[in-house]
């Protein structure tokens, strides 16, 4: 008699503010989006793992204990069983896995973390791993992505996929992993528009930025850039370029997260919107992770009377923008901006939040 199928899912995320701060030990403020990844899993009698993804042209296969990096999508699953084994989990047998997702790839919305947490939740259920709580699942997903896949991401994406929901923002200290939920303002609509320019975090630029931050911290004599305070800002000018600007972004972005939480709690949307614009300028000029198409979307948002604020969200080098629009105006505003952007850029944007009404 064959084992029963189990199913689990996890959402993508949009980061409201706090970009490139997580691998520096700082603060982030993501929220979940409606799009999710679904993992349907059945335990096998042997040690083989068979994976079918609707987004892949061919299935993937490997054997537990023989995981080897291939440089393709299957590495995200292999990395998880590799990380579980290193964590002391004995899966005893392989499994069949089916993956479906409507979290867009390359949009800066954590499609990989959504997959990782969905698969880990399915494995936890099928193999009865009660010791793997939601925070531990996030840590295992990050280990898989850092050490097996080769993308040196921080832990925000996995924590958001594991803990966040669509009605609150997750205020997370990425050093202590303590978090609390902050209600999203009822007076505003969340808007997410994909620029049509895809990115890949396993590529060199993201890892380069992390290395620059680590070098800046070492030269400043602190364990992580999180340990800097506003009083340290003058010291950044002594760093060689571009390390000073990289550190300035992280230091100021951490402060912006704290101000954004206060603005959310006070329902001060004008202040929150200005923090969005400050964050985008910092990412564009100091951290240099934006692209002209994303800048154009932010400029169109800033020119729109129904938008409080707009910024690049995610790791950068393409991807999506997040905006706050007036209550009830999210859909019309997003469509209006997307149409203007398409005409001016020649790109095909996609409005992801609010989801198109069927």
Distances (CA, A) of 53 to 32, 79, 334: 22, 16, 30
- Whether 232 sits among the annotated catalytic residues: the reply is no
Answer yes or no: are the C-beta atoms of 93 and 44 closer than 8 Å.
yes
DSSP structure class, residue 242: T
CA distances from 17 to 28, 120, 199, 255, 275 (A): 6, 27, 19, 10, 8
Q: Which residues contact 18 (CB under 8 A, 6 or more apart)?
A: 26, 27, 28, 29, 30, 156, 253, 254, 256, 257, 260
Cα 94 to Cα 44: distance, rounded to the nearest angstrom: 5
User: CB-hemisphere CA count at 13 Å for 18?
Assistant: 32
Q: Which of 22, 75, 157, 304 is catalytic?
A: 157
- SS3 at position 212: helix
* C-alpha to C-alpha distance for 308 and 228, rounded to whole angstroms: 30
Q: Which of 42, 61, 39 is nearest to 2 (CA)?
A: 42
Bridge partners (DSSP) listed for residue 14: 31
Is the Cβ–Cβ distance between 151 and 116 less than 8 Å? Answer: no
Q: Which two tokens stand for residue 214?
A: 């680590």
Q: Which residue in 182, 174, 207 sits closest to 262, CA to CA?
A: 182
C-alpha–C-alpha distance, residues 247 and 94, integer Å: 45
For residues 316 and 287, is the Cβ–Cβ distance under 8 A? Answer: yes
Residues assigned a catalytic role: 157
């Amino acid at each position: 008699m064959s084992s029963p199928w189990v199913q689990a899912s996890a959402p993508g995320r949009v980061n409201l503010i706090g970009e490139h701060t997580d691998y520096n030990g700082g603060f982030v403020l993501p929220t979940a989006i409606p799009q999710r990844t679904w993992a349907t899993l059945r335990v096998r009698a042997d040690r083989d793992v068979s994976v079918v993804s609707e987004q892949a042209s061919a299935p993937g296969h490997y054997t537990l204990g023989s995981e080897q990096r291939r440089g393709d999508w299957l590495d995200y699953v292999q990395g998880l069983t590799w990380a579980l084994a290193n964590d002391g989990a004995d899966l005893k047998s392989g499994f069949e896995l089916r993956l479906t997702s409507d979290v867009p790839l390359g949009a800066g919305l954590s499609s990989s973390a959504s997959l990782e947490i969905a698969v880990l939740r399915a494995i936890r259920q099928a193999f009865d791993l009660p010791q793997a709580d939601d925070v531990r699942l996030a840590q295992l997903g990050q280990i898989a992505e850092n050490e097996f896949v080769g993308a040196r991401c921080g832990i925000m994406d996995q924590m958001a996929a594991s803990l966040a929901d669509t009605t609150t923002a997750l205020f997370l200290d990425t050093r202590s992993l303590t978090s609390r939920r902050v209600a999203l303002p009822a007076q505003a609509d969340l808007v997410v528009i994909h620029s049509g320019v895809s990115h890949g975090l396993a590529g060199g630029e993201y890892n380069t930025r992390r290395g620059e931050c680590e070098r800046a911290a070492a030269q400043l004599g602190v364990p992580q850039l999180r340990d800097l305070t506003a009083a340290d800002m003058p010291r950044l000018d002594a760093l060689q370029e571009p390390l000073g600007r990289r550190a300035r972004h992280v230091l100021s972005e951490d402060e912006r997260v704290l101000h954004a939480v206060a603005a959310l709690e006070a329902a001060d949307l004008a202040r929150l919107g200005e923090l969005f614009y400050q964050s985008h300028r910092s990412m564009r000029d100091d951290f240099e992770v934006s692209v002209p198409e994303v800048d154009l979307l932010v400029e169109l948002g800033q020119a729109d009377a129904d938008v409080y604020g707009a910024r690049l969200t995610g790791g950068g080098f393409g991807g999506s923008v997040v905006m706050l629009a007036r209550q009830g105006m999210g859909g019309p505003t997003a469509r209006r901006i997307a149409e203007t952007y398409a005409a001016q850029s020649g790109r095909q944007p996609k409005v992801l939040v609010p989801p198109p009404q069927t």
